[in-house]
Amino acid sequence: MSTIGPESAELAPDDLKNRVAVELERTRQRSISLTDAVDDDDLVAQHSPLMSPLVWDLAHVGSQEELWLVRDVGGRPALRPDIDDLYDAFQHSRCDRPQLPLLGPGESRDYIATVRDKAQDVLHRVRLEGGRLVERAFAFGMIVQHEQQHDETMLATHQLRRGEPVLHAPEPPSMAETPLPSTEVFVPAGGFTMGTSTEPWALDNERPAHPVHVADFCIDTHPVTNADFFRFIESGGYQQSRWWSEAGWRHREHARLSAPLFWRRSGDTWWRRRFGRIEPVPPDEPVVHVSFHEAQAYANWAGKRLPTEAEWEKAARFDPATGKSMRYPWGDSEPTPERANLGQRHLRPAPAGAYAAGRAPCGAGQLIGDVWEWTSSDFAAYPGFEAFPYREYSEVFFGTSQKVLRGGSFGTDAAACRATFRNWDFPIRRQIFAGFRCARTPSRAELD
Ligand code: AVJ
Ligand code: FE
């Protein structure tokens, strides 16, 4: 695993270019393995109206790479201006994409390989100075992250797909040798630096770094587990409107939600489908495939609430010993297999309490990796936000219709995950690898 962080400022240009070339190649191998895993019929099929056909994602990553690296940074002529519209995510909704005259599987593979050759050539020749797009290879980092994000989207499509298992990975580590000290930790009131102005590949919505005061709060040391969630279901949580917001309850009724996506009850046992395998739902794993509304209802039922984005980020990166915000809960060095479940190294979250080496100074674990965590916050601009390099990456999504998720999942690559990284989605979505942890405001009596 490898990311490019603030230390890139000290790298010689050629060393930085070599690192970038390796990241591009490593990422492409993931895209190829996700698409080579199924046959051509499967690549062009629509596995869910929520998702694009895999072959669309594949050519779309090439199309964005052509736009930003070949045309914009490289100043080279367009390769396929005729297909720009087909792969513009704003032109056609995911459910309409199978009907478009898309490139076929072979054509898509050839197209992205041709684009990649040109992009590597641009990288080789470009001077990495004289503009924000090229400074510290930002545009290349953006394209690596973009492809990794679509790889996670393709992984979600694999999870929705019916049929025999085609993806394989070793099991994640089990419970840590160092058990969690408690189920929640207290984070005392105070300021911290939220967001970043120094992380070279941070996207526009993570910027700039700014001070935020956060009141006293408690946060769970691990994400809510399936065993926790069984209790919510068994106590009638899905039948009692009092735990749900008005919008949440309306959606619960309309969509007839009664358990996380991919769960089925048989007798006394909950079963789930996971990448084509049917298995009993493991009690000690973080719950995954729940919507914001289900997360919020659970938190209310538990007498808690979801953390705000600021609380989550403070728990994940504030080091009270130095007063500084770190890149990750464990410090500034990059993720390793001992610290976090990232990069599709495993095809499931690890049990709650795993990854003792990845815990934050406050004592909370598994903040990075395993499952995306819903927060209570709407996706909004930080003070001083500037759209860069294009409004459609973040700015057009700001507002009250999208909720922020933090921390990354087992399907998120390290290049697209850090303690400042912000993901967002509609509060009804649950095909993404999303779970949550709870927080609460301590009472006066507890504090005195
Ligand atoms: C940040 C995951 C919400 O996949 O919709 C991909 C990232 N932007 N292509 C998404 C993105 C353009 C985005 N998310
Ligand atoms: Fe995209």
User: What is the per-residue pLDDT for 1?
Assistant: 53
Sheet with 439-440, edge to edge strand ranges: 184-187, 217-220, 439-440
Say whether 425 counts as a known binding-site residue: yes
User: Closest residue (by CA) to atom 1 of ligand 1?
Assistant: 423
- Cα of 265 from ligand 1 centre, angstroms: 33
64 alpha carbon, closest ligand: 2
Q: Which atom of ligand 1 is nearest to the CA of 423?
A: 1
Residue with CA at minimum distance from ligand 1 atom 8: 393
Q: What is the number of the ligand 1 atom nearest to the C-alpha of 153?
A: 4
The answer to whether the annotation marks 161 as part of a ligand binding site is no
Q: Where are the domains of the chain?
A: 6-160, 170-448
Residues with CB under 6 A from ligand 1: 89, 146, 149, 153, 393, 423-424
Q: For the residues of 46-99, what is the DSSP string, one character each?
A: -S-TTS--HHHHHHHHHHHHIIIIIIIIT-PPPS-GGGTTTT-TTTS-GGGGGG
Q: Minimum-distance ligand to the CA of 59?
A: 2
User: How many angstroms separate the alpha carbon of residue 69 from the centre of ligand 2?
Assistant: 14
Name which residue sits closest to atom 7 of ligand 1, judged by CA. 149
Atom of ligand 1 nearest to the CA of 425: 3
Give the separation between CA 68 and CA 74, rounded to whole angstroms.
Answer: 8
N-terminal to C-terminal alpha carbon distance within the chain: 45
**pLDDT recorded at residue 2:** 64
Out of 142, 148, 149, mutate this one to test ligand 1's pocket (max ligand atoms within 8 Å of CB): namely 149
- Is 422 within 8 Å of 146 (Cβ atoms)? no
> Average pLDDT per run of 10 along the chain, which is 448 residues long?
77 94 98 98 95 97 98 97 94 90 97 98 96 96 98 98 96 81 94 97 98 98 98 98 98 98 96 98 97 99 98 99 98 97 98 96 98 99 97 97 98 98 98 98 88
Atom number of ligand 1 nearest to Cα 397: 3
Enter the DSSP assignment of 11.
Answer: S
Report the separation in Å between the CA atom of 172 and the middle of ligand 2, taken as the mean of its atom positions.
29
Candidates 1.20.120.450, 3.90.1330.10, 3.40.50.2000, 1.20.1090.10; CATH matching 6-160: 1.20.120.450
The SS3 call for residue 417 is coil
Is 251 annotated as contributing to ligand binding? no
The reply, when asked if residue 168 is annotated as ligand binding, is no
User: pLDDT, tens digit, for every residue of 197-214?
Assistant: 999 999 999 999 999 999
Q: 196 alpha carbon to ligand 2 midpoint, in Å?
A: 23
C-alpha to C-alpha distance for 340 and 318, rounded to whole angstroms: 18
From atom 14 of ligand 1, which residue's Cα is the shortest distance away? 423
Between the CA of 116 and the centroid of ligand 2 the distance, in Å, is 16
Give the closest residue (by CA) to ligand 1 atom 9: 146
Which ligand has its closest atom nearest to the C-alpha of 87? Answer: 2
Q: Is 146 annotated as a binding residue?
A: yes
Could you tell me what percentage of the chain is helix, strand and coil, using 3-state DSSP and rounding each to the nearest 5? Answer: 35, 15, 50
**Which of these, 315, 305, 308, lies nearest to 419 by C-alpha position?**
315
Distance 385 CA to ligand 1 centre (A): 18
How high is the pLDDT of residue 211?
98
CA of 267 to the centre of ligand 2 (A): 42
- Sort residue 289 into left (φ over 0), alpha (ψ -120 to 50) or beta: left
- Specify which residues 274 forms β-bridges with: 277
| Angle of the 54-65 helix axis to the 138-160 helix axis, nearest 10 | 180
Query: Is residue 346 a known part of a binding site?
Result: no
Distance 424 CA to ligand 1 centre (A): 8
**Residue 95, marked binder:** yes
Q: Which ligand is nearest to the CA of 88?
A: 2
Question: What pLDDT does residue 172 have?
Answer: 95
| Residue 319 among known ligand-binding residues | no
CA of 142 to the centre of ligand 1 (A): 11
Q: Which CATH number fits domain 170-448: 3.40.50.2000, 3.40.718.10, 3.90.1580.10, 1.10.240.10?
A: 3.90.1580.10
> How close is the Cα of 60 to the center of ligand 2, in Å?
7
Ligand nearest to the CA of 67: 2
Is residue 94 a known part of a binding site? yes
Which-ligand-closest: CA of 63?
2
